[in-house]
Amino acid sequence: MKILLAVDGSDPARRATQRVITLAGELRQAPELHLLTVHPAVPSGLVQRHISQASLDAYYREESEAVLRPFREQLEAAGLAYTPHVLVGVPAEAIAHEASRLNCDLICMGTRGMGRVGDAILGSVARATTHHASVPVLLIK
């Protein structure tokens, strides 16, 4: 089984990670696990006049690594192997596309992320991911 675990630094993402750890223990074989975070793109236009692409790439890398760090530690403490992925783009679309590209059987993610307060019931990224995904999406509160 291939699982894409999409994380954003939120508490629901931590609970989703714990659910994947539990699920992995219930399977006969350890899943092929892909840990993904998607950094929304900084609007280019005026920004690129003042910041080089190399600086922008470094920013994406540093921010994404900071998001992934606690999830890496959580998975490593559970003894699970994983492949980390960092993408830049529209989160829901990137998550669904990456799951398809990797031929994942399942996407697991939190229901509410680090986004706007208006996402209180079901986060807009979670909702949009279920719309775009071609595989089941396990949403964790």
Q: How far apart are CA 113 and CA 111, in angstroms?
A: 7
The region, left, alpha or beta by phi > 0 then psi within -120 to 50, assigned to residue 15 is alpha
Report the percent of the chain where pLDDT is more than 70: 89
Mean pLDDT of the chain: 90
Token pair belonging to 8: 């954003």
Amino acid 120: pLDDT: 45
- For the chain, helix, strand, coil in percent to 5 are 50, 20, 30
Residue range 55-84, pLDDT digits in tens: 889 999 999 999 999 999 999 999 999 999
Structure-block tokens of residue 54: 């190399």
Q: What is the pTM of this model?
A: 0.90
Distance (Å) of CA 132 to CA 67, 97, 116, 122: 23, 8, 20, 15
What domain range includes position 52? 2-140
Give the model's pLDDT for residue 59.
92
pLDDT in tens, 6-20: 999 999 999 999 999
The length of the chain, given as a count of residues:
141
- Count the Cβ atoms, other than its own, within 10 Å of residue 36: 27
Instruction: Tell me: pLDDT of 28 over 80.
Output: yes
How far is CA 9 from each of CA 16, 31, 41, 112, rounded to the nearest angstrom? Answer: 11, 22, 17, 11
* Averaged pLDDT, 131-138: 97
Mean pLDDT of all residues in 47-57 = 81
Domain count, the chain: 1
Please report which confidence band the pLDDT of residue 46 belongs to, taking 50, 70 and 90 as the band edges: low
Mean pLDDT for 78-100 is 97
What mean pLDDT comes out for the span 30-51?
A: 85
pLDDT at 116 over 60: no
pLDDT at 53: 82
HSE-CB for 128 with a 13 A CA cutoff: 13
